[in-house]
Structure 1
Amino acid sequence: MDNRGGYLGLFISFIVISQLILGYLNRAYGAVNNFDETLQDELKAIATKHDILIKGLDKTREISARPLIQGSLQEQLQGLLINFNYVFIHAADSGIKEVLILSQKKAAPEIPDQIILNTTRKGNHHLVQVAVQGPNYASVGVSLLVDTGASLVVLPASIIPRLGFSSGQLENQKIQTANGLLDASIGQLNSLKIGAAIIYGVNAAFIADNLLGANGLLGMNVLGRYLVTINDQQNLITLSRQR
């Protein structure tokens, strides 16, 4: 009888301790990852904690919460937004002050191994012809300067109506250019066609025509997908797919 009472006491103690441990683990894990939440809830909590502005949160409303990785604010945001196209805007002290969530990423399309394009010379620069599509799927042909110093494709603001962008589909911000800081509207093209390649979901900056000049820029968010070889003698540019 006494032994059974002792065993019962030990069993009850084991149950109580187990429940306490499970409760602690659930609270600790839930503080980092609450999978009943949405990605929008996670991002709102981070924005409040770090006093930053996150635009485009509505695009994350239906997405399940993701595990929050350990690391810096930038690393945490990069982990949460791994399936989105976004832009970080930094303050003067290099910290993140604003995040622009542009859209969800689309599956990467097949890209030809090599594209050879004829170019038109403009001084020391090369111009190529591309076709861009906006939200209305209308195709607009533009001449772009090949510019490995530009992070984004840059287009004249005058073609925004032809591409079908609404004001809600563009984010206004200042971008650094060779001519200093300029006002730009950032949006996502439905596609950009260069040679035989069609690249979907390309982000572009729209700048006032009088500030941009006659031509837009083909930036590294397209060129960076390739090894770029320029033949000045034959006015050719070869884009070789990187492995």
Structure 2
Amino acid sequence: MPRFDPRLLTAVCLLMVGLVQAQGPASTVPVQSKRVEVAAELDRLSRELNFEVRGIEQTKGATARADGESIVERLHLLLEDFDHVIVQAPGASGVERVIILGEKAASVPPPVVGEGVGSSAGADAVVLATQRRGSSHLVTLGVEGVSGGEIIQESMLIDTGADRVVLPVSLISSLGFALDALQQQQVQTANGAVDARVGRVPAIWVGPRRIENVEVAFIDDQRLGTTPLAGMSLLGRFRMTIDDEKNQLTLVPK
């Protein structure tokens, strides 16, 4: 039997210690998400994946994380500091259009300016203050649930290209709807047709006025972005005027 040489064991131990020292201690610093310039990354992605971006100038100077397994996740992270809408092609995973409404701010519901007070439109007019997001206007409205109890206040983009009031799917249960009570169909917005679940709410409150039996469409939260739409199932009941200088919406019943 060959004789064991203790010098060999010493050499092996020294070699292992040297390898551990060379590798250093295990890192405990978490990997940080890469941050990029939002405008430059949006421009690169839009050219590479062939989609349109509106309002990109509002992201000038901003930086954000460049993560996400899908293009939609990546865009939401890039625009996490901005109110935005991502429009996807029906039945596809690609993106058709990204609309940037403006930088997010603390949400303070605009007050009702008045109902027929000082308005040349007449005593029936409702005048609401609006919030600006770039060239767009948002107005806060109350959506009444099907049980007739809770009224959910939502800041909505005024969108005359939408044929219905459009709300996120996440509000379905809060408003008391059962999924089987809603019809699946495509609805039209200013940014194209999208798949939705359609139903009617008992009322939408426009300032102090209760507008009954309004058709609404629920679409996927990610596709809608962060902003519901005040569409023509509500706005079509009024003659509507937007004052850009005063940031006011005047609605006169037809």
TM-score (norm 1): 0.52
- Residue in 2 aligned with 1:113? 124
Q: Does 2:152 align with 1:140?
A: yes
Structure 1 residue 241, shift from structure 2 partner: 2.1
CA distance in 2, matches of 1:161, 1:153: 17
CA distance in 1, matches of 2:144, 2:168: 14
Structure 1 residue 134, shift from structure 2 partner: 2.2
- Residue in 2 aligned with 1:191? 203
- Residue in 2 aligned with 1:202? 214
* Aligned amino acid, residue 134 of structure 1: G
Matches within 5 A, 1:1-243: 113-137=124-148, 138-242=150-254
Q: Is the 8 A contact 2:163 2:187 kept in 1?
A: no
Structure 1 residue 176, shift from structure 2 partner: 3.0
Q: Is the 8 A contact 1:134 1:188 kept in 2?
A: no
SS, match of residue 161 in structure 1: coil
- Pair 176,240 (structure 1): closer, same or farther in 2 beyond 3 Å: closer
Q: Is the 8 A contact 2:163 2:189 kept in 1?
A: no
Structure 1 residue 133, shift from structure 2 partner: 1.4
- Pair 176,120 (structure 1): closer, same or farther in 2 beyond 3 Å: same
Structure 1 residue 179, shift from structure 2 partner: 3.7
CA distance in 1, matches of 2:190, 2:237: 23
SS, match of residue 174 in structure 2: helix
- Residue in 2 aligned with 1:8? none
SS, match of residue 151 in structure 1: coil
Structure 1 residue 158, shift from structure 2 partner: 0.7
- Name structure 1 gaps, 5 residues minimum: 1-111
Structure 1 residue 167, shift from structure 2 partner: 1.6
The sequence identity of aligned pairs, in percent, is 43
Report Cα offsets for 1:160-205 as digits up to 9, x if no partner: 1100100221111122334433210001101100112101110100
CA distance in 2, matches of 1:210, 1:198: 29
Tell me how many residue pairs correspond in the alignment.
Answer: 131
Q: Is the 8 A contact 1:132 1:189 kept in 2?
A: yes
CA distance in 2, matches of 1:118, 1:163: 25
Report Cα offsets for 1:28-74 as digits up to 9, x if no partner: xxxxxxxxxxxxxxxxxxxxxxxxxxxxxxxxxxxxxxxxxxxxxxx
- Pair 226,124 (structure 1): closer, same or farther in 2 beyond 3 Å: same
CA distance in 1, matches of 2:193, 2:239: 29
Structure 1 residue 121, shift from structure 2 partner: 0.4
* Aligned amino acid, residue 157 of structure 2: L
When you count helix as a share of all residues, which structure comes out higher?
A: 1
- Residue in 2 aligned with 1:103? none
CA distance in 2, matches of 1:194, 1:162: 20
CA distance in 2, matches of 1:209, 1:116: 29
SS, match of residue 185 in structure 2: strand
The structure having more radius of gyration, on CA atoms, is: 2
- Name structure 2 gaps, 5 residues minimum: 1-122
- Pair 113,212 (structure 1): closer, same or farther in 2 beyond 3 Å: same
- Pair 241,175 (structure 1): closer, same or farther in 2 beyond 3 Å: closer
- Pair 176,227 (structure 1): closer, same or farther in 2 beyond 3 Å: closer
